[in-house]
Amino acid sequence: MNFTTSERHYLRELAKKQAEIAALPVMGELLKKWYNLNDGKPDMPLVTAECSNLLDELMPPLKCETPFFRELEKQLTWNITRYNLFRDDRVMPGYVTVVAANSFVPFGITTELMYAQNADGSAGKGFAMKYAIENLERDFDKLRPAVFTVDIGLAKTMARQAEFEEILGDILPVKIQFPSFNFSLGHNLVQLMSMENMFFFIYDYPDLFHKIMASLTGDYFQYMSEIESAGSILCNNDGSDLGQGTWGYTNDLPSAEELNRPVTFKDVWGYTNFQETVGMSAKMFDEFFFSYMERIANRFGLLSYGCCEPVDTILDMILSRLPNLRKLSVSPWCNEDEIANKIRGKKIVYHRKPSANYITSIFGFDEVAFAEHIAKTVIAASGCPLEVSFREELTVCGEPWRFTRAVEIVREQFARYYKA
């Protein structure tokens, strides 16, 4: 493998720093709290800051030139940076992660993204999509079965694991993880045809739209079945990523050591959301989206649901038809009290996503207003397993300390208002 001596030395020093943090006693204490939270126990609330949208603003520049090692450097550097900056409740992993190399392209179409440019000529965060389907009736024949790859026996993933181990395996173990299986049918369709067209097509071509949904659902079923039969799935009841800035620690799903058979999707976490369907009536949402989604969702052992959509408008449907629901996103557009009253006592985590407006404001961080915002959440969610996750912030206006202070304020409100 080609790499410079300085790159190898630098990566090993980063690995030593992560290992030191992971060995701190507080990490063992946090781990117990995460298992309690995800097991549905209204014990101690937790707060996390994902901030993956802010790597360019918060993380120091990468030093490695070799692309492969930049990937490893990015993982180590971000783990250390977020610990030093946020001091949130994330458990620092005592390992380096390699993700199972499976992939899925709906309808075999990769949507082209056209990014805006910043004033200095660099790529901006805003983008437009070049949609493949502009008229559903005319373009229907463009749709093909999904294209997916399954890493048989995790052979490719284990090869990557061995490459990482060659560099720092004596300092940090290299662990293969299977993140929560993400299937967001609305997102798939919006990338294909735009949100505006999606709504028009439901009205103009309902039969064709049902054919699309049936086809997409069938493709996901086939993909999942091939993952199972190929041994490309792993238990994820540990520090595996669930999306939404949270992790999969739970005793209510089996670990690899507990199974004496191949892993199936009934043993793992899944994740979905439908933020693209905001504004639809519950009846129409059920007919065109939820009825398809629940077939996939109920294949999982546990499910995490929601993103930015106001889930309170469809909460009765979710609770009655997704018996494996364990984590529910409560966005700034939700009725917090209504959700808390309906999930309290059901072992469902009240996963609150605070408004990003406080931390990202160009007029400064109003700590008093933010504290009131969080207090409302904590009072409403008392008696529920509660988790607060920052993850939609796009800037801190050059003041990274805002996140540090925001985490402190959240903890202050936990201590003041939360009742187990």
CA separation for the pair 297, 272 (Å, rounded): 8
User: Domain count of the chain?
Assistant: 1
Task: Please give the structure tokens belonging to residue 6.
Answer: 């300085």
Q: Residue 117, SS3?
A: strand
Is the dihedral angle over the CA atoms 53, 58, 63, 69 positive or is it negative? negative
Q: What is the pLDDT of residue 117?
A: 84
Q: Could you give the residue ranges of the DSSP H alpha helices within 169-248?
A: 185-193, 195-204, 206-229
- What pLDDT shows up at residue 124? 77
Contact 393, 53 (CB under 8 A): yes
**231 phi and psi, to 5 degrees?**
65, 35
- Could you tell me which residues come within 8 angstroms of residue 370 by beta carbon, excluding any fewer than 6 positions away? 354, 358, 359, 406, 409
Structure confidence at residue 2 (pLDDT): 55
Tell me the pairing of strands 147-149 and 103-105.
Answer: antiparallel
Distance from C-alpha of 172 to C-alpha of 152, rounded to nearest angstrom:
26
| Cβ-count burial 372-411 (b if 16+ within 10 Å, e if not) | ebbbebbbbbbbbbbbbbbbbbebbeeebebbbebbebbb
**163 is in which domain, residue-wise?**
5-417
CATH at residue 302: 3.20.20.210
| Low-confidence spans in the chain with pLDDT less than 70 | 1-3
Place of tokens 């939609």: 392
Q: What is residue 319's DSSP assignment?
A: H
DSSP E strands, 194-307: 269-272, 302-305
Residue pair 75/96 in contact (Cβ under 8 Å)? The answer is: yes
Instruction: Look at residue 68 in the predicted model and tell me its pLDDT.
Output: 83
Distance CA 144, CA 216 (A): 10
Task: Give the global pTM.
Answer: 0.94
Report the pLDDT value the prediction gives residue 243, as an integer from 0 to 100. 84
Q: Around Cβ 170, how many Cβ atoms within 10 Å?
A: 10
The CA–CA distances, whole Å, from 116 to 50, 56, 129, 187, 360 equal 24, 16, 11, 21, 20
CA distance 398 to 132: 38
Q: Nearest-CA neighbor of 323 among 348, 341, 344?
A: 348
Query: Under the phi-then-psi rule, with left for phi > 0, alpha for psi from -120 to 50, and beta for the rest, what region is 123?
Result: beta
The pLDDT score that the predictor gives to residue 1 is: 52
Per-residue pLDDT of 88-140, as tens digits, reads 999 999 999 999 999 999 999 998 888 888 888 777 778 888 999 999 999 99
